[in-house]
């Protein structure tokens, strides 16, 4: 978390993180190339993935032939009990794959992806495609060199946050060019405090024949609409509107790991996260998995459908929203593709944060006594062009920013009732952001929700991303009020895929992590997506041990008691939960 806000780097119109969640120990590299329309620069992202699963006590070869969202056009090959991935090829070029598991080259221009047909003829794709691929996003290094990183600081980022402000809205700098290329763009209209969603939405419907309100989100703060040029011009003059930006898509980015961070010793001392709840915004959860037995306290689903993008809701009721038991079920028919469960990421992440030992299971997660609030925020995508740009093949899973905002608002509403200590987001896209991105309405779309959670003592924990950026992170990890997490391996070395730089807050293990996957099984995944839930679980332990601490105080304690990891010229703490729960000032007796 960073104080205040600073101007971000020139915003990329599109960038994506390939292989954010990398099942298995990465042994190769994948590169995907995306074009940033803002500066016409190609960025490379690296990743690799392997899946292994075990049912009961016996280890079995990878239960899923390929990791969800990462298969792309991959040619698979099997080595021993592991499923590996051959080169990914685009229509335009092929990259060498010596030592690589996957590589894809993609080019995105203002008119679309260089596929056989122009993008605009096939899908109204959001150019800011966020890839939270199986949440293997590892926010490598945090900020400050040697000393403590800046304290969390929540403040308004513009005059538009003031309900008395009458200035015009902040418009995403790339939105106009996207509308010009595609005629209209699915966008989020964020309102100023006290304004009526119904009134503004009604005016949008009347503004132009090319604009329409797509869905009633149920939020009092924003709504989603298809916006064309004439409507955008009118919105620029509408003093009721705070910001207008594209509704981006995101891709979903233990035995040894709990020993490395010594949460096992903290658990033995009684610090298990009992009485707290961890919210996991991901691809749903295997709700009857023994790793979570009796501890899923609530479920919800925010999953949009859009015919233009080829997206379909993953809510069991086939509607854009659902709440209550079964709402985040990861074993529905929509999650299956060719007998493969594409929704495995969320169960794996939840198990790292709060799994509890069961027959045939790995060791506990970080907070085995904590409850779980599972929220589905991904949609199934059946459009091949959309999935190909994200490095996968149809069907794949992607998450709309608007669905993430609704999910975070839901967490805010129930945070007090469930004593929520942290919310985990192992997803993201874009970058590298070398400075806080708060001034960019698209990149910082979740900041209002992060700030609201912080005010209630809930830590927004975000994976840094798997691009291998040495001096930057992805979004939403770039938001100043996010707790940004990078990945290390068993030897406390920064993983090659983990993003790092001055915005990184903490490190946690993210290499070859064994946790729950659907069908009551277990499997290994690697990535910053795996590192982040270690920290979410850590905040649950801190809430139990120091119930009066603010998020900032708990973060400072995690930094001060962690093991310093070198990454370039910076040093960032890898969490150590035994020290965090026992160092002076000591926590109260958990059994008292």
Query: What is the C-alpha to C-alpha distance for residues 387 and 133, in angstroms, rounded to an integer?
Result: 12
Same domain, residue pair 216 and 335 = no
Asked if residue 478 is part of any domain, the answer here is yes
Same domain, residue pair 230 and 255 = no
What is the separation, in whole angstroms, between the first and last Cα of the chain? 33
Contacts for 292 with CB less than 8 Å, ≥ 6 apart: 285, 286, 350, 351, 354, 355, 356, 372, 516
Same domain, residue pair 422 and 376 = yes
Number of structural domains the chain divides into: 3
Stretch (H or E) spanning 84 = strand 82-85
Asked if residue 23 is part of any domain, the answer here is no
Is the pLDDT at 113 greater than 70, yes or no?
A: no
Stretch among 159-173, 309-323, 499-513 having the lowest mean pLDDT: 159-173
As beta bridge partners, residue 371 has 277
Asked if residue 142 is part of any domain, the answer here is no
Same domain, residue pair 356 and 416 = yes
| Mean pLDDT of the region 357-361 | 78
Range of the domain at 275: 250-582
Q: Judge contact between 241 and 349, C-beta under 8 A.
A: no
C-beta neighbour count of 250 within 10 angstroms: 34
Catalytic residue among 90, 498, 529, 573: 529
Same domain, residue pair 526 and 426 = yes
Catalytic residue among 282, 309, 363, 440: 282
Query: What is the C-alpha to C-alpha distance for residues 532 and 426, in angstroms, rounded to an integer?
Result: 7
Same domain, residue pair 192 and 295 = no
Task: Check if 263 is active-site.
Answer: no
Asked if residue 12 is part of any domain, the answer here is no
Query: What is the C-alpha to C-alpha distance for residues 386 and 165, in angstroms, rounded to an integer?
Result: 39
pLDDT for position 54: 36
Same domain, residue pair 346 and 305 = yes
Same domain, residue pair 369 and 488 = yes
Query: What is the C-alpha to C-alpha distance for residues 394 and 381, in angstroms, rounded to an integer?
Result: 7
Query: What is the C-alpha to C-alpha distance for residues 164 and 169, in angstroms, rounded to an integer?
Result: 13
**Global confidence as pTM:** 0.72
Cis amide linkage into residue 541, ω under 30° from 0: no
Please say which residue of 215, 247, 279 terminates a domain: 247
Same domain, residue pair 554 and 477 = yes
Residue of 12, 136, 1 whose CA lies nearest to 487: 136
pLDDT for position 339: 86
Task: Check if 97 is active-site.
Answer: no
Same domain, residue pair 513 and 402 = yes
For 407-460, the pLDDT digits (tens) are 999 999 999 999 999 999 999 988 899 999 999 989 999 999 999 999 999 999
Task: Check if 184 is active-site.
Answer: no
Quote the mean pLDDT of the chain. 76
- CATH number of the domain at 409, please: 3.40.50.200
Please say which residue of 201, 229, 247 terminates a domain: 247
Same domain, residue pair 186 and 273 = no
> Which has the higher per-residue pLDDT, 317 or 15?
317
Residue with tokens 């599109």, as numbered in its chain: 14
Among the ranges 113-122, 157-166, 374-383, which has the highest mean pLDDT value?
A: 374-383
Asked if residue 103 is part of any domain, the answer here is yes
Q: Which two tokens stand for residue 578?
A: 């035994």
Asked if residue 323 is part of any domain, the answer here is yes
Residue of 183, 184, 187, 306 whose CA lies nearest to 245: 187
Same domain, residue pair 388 and 350 = yes
pLDDT for position 151: 44
Query: What is the C-alpha to C-alpha distance for residues 108 and 435, in angstroms, rounded to an integer?
Result: 25
Residue with tokens 């955008």, as numbered in its chain: 232
Asked if residue 476 is part of any domain, the answer here is yes
Asked if residue 227 is part of any domain, the answer here is yes
Catalytic residue among 345, 399, 474, 480: 345
As beta bridge partners, residue 36 has 41
Please say which residue of 190, 223, 247 terminates a domain: 247
Query: What is the C-alpha to C-alpha distance for residues 401 and 350, in angstroms, rounded to an integer?
Result: 21
């Amino acid at each position: 978390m960073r104080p205040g806000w600073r101007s971000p780097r020139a915003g990329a119109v599109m960038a994506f993180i390939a292989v954010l969640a990398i099942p298995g120990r990465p042994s190769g590299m994948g590169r995907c190339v995306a074009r940033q329309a803002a500066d016409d620069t190609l960025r490379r992202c690296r990743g690799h993935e392997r899946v292994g699963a075990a049912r009961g006590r016996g280890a079995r070869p990878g239960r899923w032939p390929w990791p969800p969202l990462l298969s792309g056009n991959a040619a698979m090959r099997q080595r021993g009990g592991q499923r590996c991935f051959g080169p990914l090829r685009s229509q335009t070029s092929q990259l060498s794959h010596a030592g690589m598991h996957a590589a894809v080259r993609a080019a995105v221009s203002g008119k679309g992806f260089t596929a056989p047909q122009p993008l605009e003829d096939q899908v109204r794709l959001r150019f800011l495609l966020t890839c939270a691929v199986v949440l293997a996003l590892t926010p490598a290094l945090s900020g400050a060199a040697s000393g403590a990183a800046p304290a969390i600081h929540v403040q308004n980022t513009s005059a538009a946050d003031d309900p008395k402000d009458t200035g015009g809205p902040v418009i995403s700098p790339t939105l106009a060019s996207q509308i010009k290329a595609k005629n209209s763009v699915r966008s989020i209209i964020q309102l100023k405090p006290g304004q009526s969603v119904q009134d503004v939405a009604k005016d949008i419907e009347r503004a132009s024949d090319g604009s329409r309100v797509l869905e009633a989100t149920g939020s009092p703060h924003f709504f989603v609409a298809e916006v064309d040029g004439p409507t955008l011009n009118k919105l620029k003059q509408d003093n009721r509107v705070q910001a207008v930006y594209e509704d981006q898509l995101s891709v979903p980015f233990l035995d040894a790991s709990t020993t490395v961070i010594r949460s096992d010793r903290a658990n033995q001392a009684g610090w298990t996260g009992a009485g707290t709840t961890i919210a996991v915004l991901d691809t749903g959860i295997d709700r009857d998995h023994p790793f979570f037995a009796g501890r899923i306290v609530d479920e919800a689903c925010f999953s949009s459908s859009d015919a233009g993008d080829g997206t379909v809701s993953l809510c069991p009721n086939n509607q854009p929203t659902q709440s209550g038991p079964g709402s985040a079920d990861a074993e529905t028919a929509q999650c299956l593709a060719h007998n493969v469960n594409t929704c495995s990421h969320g169960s794996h992440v939840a198990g790292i944060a709060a799994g509890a030992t069961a027959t045939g299971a790995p060791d506990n997660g970080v907070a085995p006594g904590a409850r779980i609030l599972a929220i589905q925020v991904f949609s199934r995508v059946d459009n091949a062009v959309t999935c190909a740009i994200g490095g996968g093949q149809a069907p794949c899973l992607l998450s709309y920013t608007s669905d993430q905002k609704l999910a975070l608002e839901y967490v805010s509403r129930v945070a007090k009732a469930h004593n929520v200590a942290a919310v985990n987001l192992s997803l993201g896209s874009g970058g590298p952001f070398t400075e806080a991105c708060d001034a960019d309405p698209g990149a910082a779309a979740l900041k209002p929700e992060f700030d609201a959670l912080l005010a209630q003592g809930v830590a927004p924990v975000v994976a840094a991303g798997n691009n291998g950026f040495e001096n930057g992170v992805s979004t939403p990890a770039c938001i100043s009020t996010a707790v940004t997490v990078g990945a290390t391996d068993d030897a406390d070395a920064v993983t090659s895929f983990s993003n790092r730089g001055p915005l990184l807050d903490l490190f946690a293990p993210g290499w070859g992590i064994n946790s729950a996957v659907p069908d009551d099984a277990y499997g290994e995944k690697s990535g910053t997506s795996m590192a982040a839930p270690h920290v979410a679980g850590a905040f649950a332990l801190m809430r139990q041990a120091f119930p009066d601490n603010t998020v900032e105080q708990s973060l400072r304690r995690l930094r001060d008691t962690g093991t310093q990891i070198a990454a370039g010229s910076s040093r960032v703490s890898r969490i150590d939960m035994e020290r965090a729960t026992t160092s002076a000032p000591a926590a109260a007796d958990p059994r008292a």
